[in-house]
């Protein structure tokens, strides 16, 4: 995977069958960079996502290794049609696949889609499994103007139950033929159910993991802020980035 650590490399090593100590000097390399004092080795820097073929040739014999430095970038969509194969009609039983704020079954929901694009191109053919779209949430919630400690959370894992594969249709892969992984979510502002007011302030953070290790930046974020009093809903804010939580209720009693 890509690394931000200076001097972090993949090392490719050639093994010669000859016992001739001078044979290493006959090696010709393509791809990667030379390793000082190590004629049998080649470095591929890990500072960017790339696919490099490193070839070692000795006389008429050649051998190569294809080195993949992988990384993912994440983008968000909060309006228009859901671009992913994960369906809100399965995940939440929503009647449509339109993103954005939606009133459904007496509550308001913020429907969003996150798309991770993994590079280099074609990586789905090399490693089709082992990918996970992770999500964490911070939330402050108020009921009747009082902080609800039970609902308020700090950095909990809130990965949806269908984060990167549609459990209703397992034929949909975790990474598709365009090297993309998807996540959909729909945090809500529930019905008042006898309350005089309700507020929810939710910040989310997303990243991609491959085989248990982060494979993207961990700074991708979005938010859902919503509140209502009696029959009046005066905030339904769904969008990118984390926002600062209010320090007190909007509806003091």
Residue-wise pLDDT for 188-204, tens only, equals 999 999 999 999 999 99
**pLDDT at 170 (0 to 100):** 47
Report residue 251's pLDDT band, with 50, 70 and 90 as the boundaries: very high
Residues in Cβ contact with 79 at an 8 Å cutoff, skipping those fewer than 6 apart: 99, 100
- Give whole-number Cα distances, 116 to 49, 80, 102, 208, 234, in Å: 14, 18, 24, 8, 32
**pLDDT at 176 (0 to 100):** 92
Distance between alpha carbon 136 and the CA centroid of its chain, in Å? 11
d(CA 75, CA 90): 23
Residue found by looking up tokens 């053919």 in the block: 125
- pLDDT, one tens digit per residue, over 218-240 is 999 999 999 999 878 999 999 99
**pLDDT at 79 (0 to 100):** 98
Decide: 30 and 54 in contact? Cβ < 8 Å.
yes
pTM, two decimal places? 0.90
**Is the pLDDT score of 96 beyond 90?**
yes
**Stretch 124-144: mean pLDDT, rounded?**
94
Count CB-CB contacts under 10 A for residue 123: 21
Residue 189, phi-psi category: left (phi > 0), alpha (psi -120 to 50), beta (remainder): beta
User: Of 217, 173, 188, 177, nearest to 75 (Cα)?
Assistant: 217
């Amino acid at each position: 995977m890509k690394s931000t650590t200076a001097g972090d490399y993949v090392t490719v090593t050639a093994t010669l069958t000859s016992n001739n100590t001078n044979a290493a000097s006959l090696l010709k390399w393509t791809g990667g960079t030379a390793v000082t004092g190590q004629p049998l080795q080649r470095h591929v820097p890990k500072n960017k996502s790339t696919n490099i073929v490193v070839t070692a040739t000795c006389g008429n014999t050649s051998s190569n290794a294809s080195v993949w430095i992988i990384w993912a970038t994440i983008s968000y969509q909060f309006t228009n049609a859901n671009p992913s194969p994960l369906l809100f009609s399965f995940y939440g039983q929503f009647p449509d696949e339109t993103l954005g704020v939606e009133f459904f079954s007496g509550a308001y929901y913020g429907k969003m889609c996150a798309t991770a694009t993994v590079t280099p191109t074609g990586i789905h053919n090399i490693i089709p499994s082992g990918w996970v779209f992770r999500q964490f949430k911070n939330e402050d919630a108020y009921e009747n103007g009082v902080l609800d400690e039970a609902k308020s959370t700090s950095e909990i894992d809130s990965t949806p139950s269908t984060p990167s594969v549609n459990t209703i249709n397992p034929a949909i892969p975790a990474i598709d033929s365009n090297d993309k992984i998807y996540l959909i979510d729909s945090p809500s502002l529930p019905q008042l159910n006898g309350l005089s007011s309700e507020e929810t302030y939710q910040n989310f953070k997303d990243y991609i993991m491959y085989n248990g290790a982060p494979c993207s930046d961990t700074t991708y974020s979005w938010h859902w802020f919503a509140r209502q009093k009696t029959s009046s809903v005066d905030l339904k804010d769904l969008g990118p980035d984390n926002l600062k939580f209010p320090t007190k209720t909007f509806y003091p009693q």
